[in-house]
Structure 1
Amino acid sequence: MPLVTTEKMLLDAQAGHYAVGAFNVENMEMVMAVLQAAEEMRSPVIMQTTPSTVKYAGLDYYLAMVKTAAARTNVPVAMHLDHGDSFDLAMQALRTGYTSIMIDGSHDAFEDNIALTRRVVDACAPSRVSVEAELGKVGGKEDDLEGGDGNPFTDPQQAKEFVERTGVGSLAVAIGTAHGLYKGTPKLDFDRLSAIREVVSIPLVLHGASGVPDDAVRESITRGICKVNFATELRIAFSDGVKEYLRKDPDVFDPKKYCKVGIANVVETVKGKIAVCGSAGKV
């Protein structure tokens, strides 16, 4: 089926009290793996790329792969720009054919974040492409994404004002997660999440979920999270599969052989995340 936007996908998740997994894809093999997992679990799915991934191959390359994957299935698939770091990149993704766009102005001042987000929302509205924004600063580092320091948590009243003034479709909130690998077990501020949910009606997004305990992810969904982002764990799964094969057969020269193991690892990882999100069987 054709690519879909995330608007209905996330509103359905909100009404059904589950979340949709959003998985960062780095190559064709990861696209294939995410689709296979979504089909086996009968779950809607979001595939996404960060600015650094886009620089590696281009928006058109990644869109072509995901569009081809979506055409082979009746599982809803959306193509999302993760952490779009400028208006220009957001517009490039829109023109290329991405069906969901994040504009991340979280490192800007509050008013500047509002202005940038509103500009992207207005530009995407004629195409009915959903826009995600971020308020607060998700910590850690992934690719060239730097997290926030000091007190990066999302303020509920600011979140309410931000959503009202921007008209954004979904909001990524900072409640204690971080990008990349955790050094210890992350402690999420569930009370803050509940407070945000009380004053914000649109779907909420959890970034930095790789490494967050499953029970914590489930609790976040119970309290209003409708989209959960996973990146690092997929990269580790794929790389571990390739390395495992190369250890056993260091003379191999056919990439298809070791990539199959990487694909299998990613499939199992994604299936596990879909189960945690509660979206299995929702197609």
Structure 2
Amino acid sequence: MLTPTGEIVSAARAAGGGVGAFNVITVEHAEAVVTGAEAAGRPAVLQISENAVRFHHGRLAPIAAAARSIAELSTVAVGLHLDHVVSDELFDQAAACGFGSVMYDASLRPYEQNVAATAAAVSRGHGRGLWVESELGEIGGKDGAHAPGVRTDPGEAASYVAATGVDALAVAVGSSHAMATRTAKLDHDLISRLAAAVPVPLVLHGSSGVPDDELVAAVRGGMVKINIGTALNKAFTAAVRETLDRDATLTDPRRYLAPARDAIAETVAACLLLLR
């Protein structure tokens, strides 16, 4: 069932657990995430990023409508989240397209500009019933724009949340976007200090590069929303490659997309069971 992201995250936080938020690029991604969530009996969040919208010719409505419909038909709670939005125009389309939440990303701007832009976005978003996530510290590895090794300062994070009114905060604690290997080491002391300093749920970006034990420890330390994208694409691509390698004459895309979809579903289910 389609459920506001804020409700899903709040319930996970109250229970001392985490919720998986999974990047959606194609309809198969959305179907697989929901299948995995249903198999695990756990809620999940479908995330469509501004980059994914760009892939769909800059049109949000079609992929959003597909993801929304898949969420509505689910037997578990599924949120619809617009992720890493830089464009104010795209942000302003979110509510009309059925999203319950948006991650507004002004992290590349100087601090004061980040605060001003994010506060304005939060005001508009709240006026439309949106739950708004944002980012203070840069998360390493995204298109080379975010310096590796950056960490979020708890005091600055608390000031940022108070100044912007965001509903959740993505923080830099040792993970990086687009990691293909699970070798990230998180700063668990920093996670605990951030959780104590900030009154809103913490979000971990770049979670595909974080080993299972590190993810479990992060959730125990106060991380709530756990964003995962690259791990799904790795599973999807490996399944497609294996299927095509077995049969060079294959032309029906359903024959290789079905196992790819299944591979994502298995990855999602395993992750959600880990985050209990």
* Corresponding residue of 1:5: 4
Quote the residue 1:45 is aligned against: 44
Q: Which runs of 5+ in 1 are unaligned?
A: 279-283
Contact 2:9–2:19 (CA<8 Å) still a contact in 1? yes
Task: Map 1:156-175 to 2 at 5 A.
Answer: 156-175=154-173
Question: What is the aligned partner in structure 1 of residue 256 from structure 2?
Answer: 258
Match of 2:135 in 1: 134
State the alpha-carbon separation in 1 of the partners of residues 109 and 248 from structure 2.
48
Residues 207 and 226, structure 2, Cα contact 8 Å, conserved in 1:
yes
Question: How far apart are the structure 1 equivalents of 2:245 and 2:116?
Answer: 52
Same amino acid, percent of matched pairs: 36
Shift of residue 67, structure 1, vs aligned partner: 1.3
Gaps of 5+ in 2: none
Match of residue 245 from structure 1: 243
2:119 alignment counterpart: 118
Q: Contact 2:182–2:209 (CA<8 Å) still a contact in 1?
A: no
The CA distance in 2 between the partners of 1:69 and 1:189, in whole Å, is 36
- Kindly state the Cα deviation for residue 108 of structure 1 after the two structures are TM-superposed: 1.2
Secondary structure, aligned partner of 2:209? coil
The runs of at least 4 consecutive aligned structure 1 residues that moved more than 6 Å come to: none
Structure 1 counterpart of 2:107: 106
Q: State the SS of the aligned residue for 1:252.
A: coil
Residue of structure 1 in register with 2:65 after alignment: 64
The alpha carbon displacement at 1:250 in A equals: 1.1
Match of 2:201 among 192, 200, 203: 203
Q: Say which SS state the counterpart of residue 140 (structure 1) adopts.
A: coil
Residue of structure 1 equivalent to 2:78: 77
Q: Distance in 1 between matches of 2:129 and 2:181?
A: 40
Q: Which residue of 1 aligns with 2:88?
A: 87
Identify if the C-alpha distance between structure 1 residues 37 and 170 changes in structure 2 by more than 3 Å, giving closer, same or farther.
same
Letter of the 2:18 counterpart: A
1:78 aligned partner, one-letter code? G
Offset of residue 150 of structure 1: 6.4
Inter-partner Cα distance in structure 2 for 1:225 and 1:211: 16
Q: Using structure 1 for the length normalisation, give the TM-score.
A: 0.93
Partner AA of 1:39 in structure 2: E
The answer on whether the counterparts of 1:87 and 1:116 sit within 8 Å (CA) in structure 2 is no
Contact 2:85–2:102, Cα closer than 8 Å, also in 1: yes
Structure 2 partner of 1:152: 150
Change (3 A) 1:121 1:240: same
- Give the number of equivalent residue pairs: 274
Separation of aligned partners in 2, 1:211 and 1:228: 12
CA displacement, residues 156-182 of structure 1 (integer Å, 9 cap, x when unaligned): 000000111111110000001001125
Contact 2:175–2:209 under 8 Å retained in 1: no
Aligned partner of residue 178 in structure 1, secondary structure: coil
Supply the distance in 2 between the matched residues of 1:105 and 1:98 (Cα, whole angstroms): 19
Worse overlay, 174-183 or 247-256 = 174-183
Instruction: Determine the C-alpha separation between the residues in 2 that align with 1:249 and 1:151.
Output: 44
Per the alignment, in what secondary structure is the counterpart of residue 47 of structure 1?
Answer: strand
Corresponding residue of 1:229: 227
Residue 182 and residue 118 in structure 1: after superposition, are their counterparts in 2 closer, same or farther (change >3 A)?
A: same
CA positional deviation for 1:184: 7.3
What residue in structure 2 maps to residue 273 of structure 1? 271
Conserved in 2, the CA contact under 8 Å of 1:138 and 1:147? no
Normalising to structure 2: TM-score of the pair? 0.95
Pick which of 88-97 and 73-82 moved more: 88-97
Alpha-carbon distance in 1 for matches of 2:31, 2:12: 24
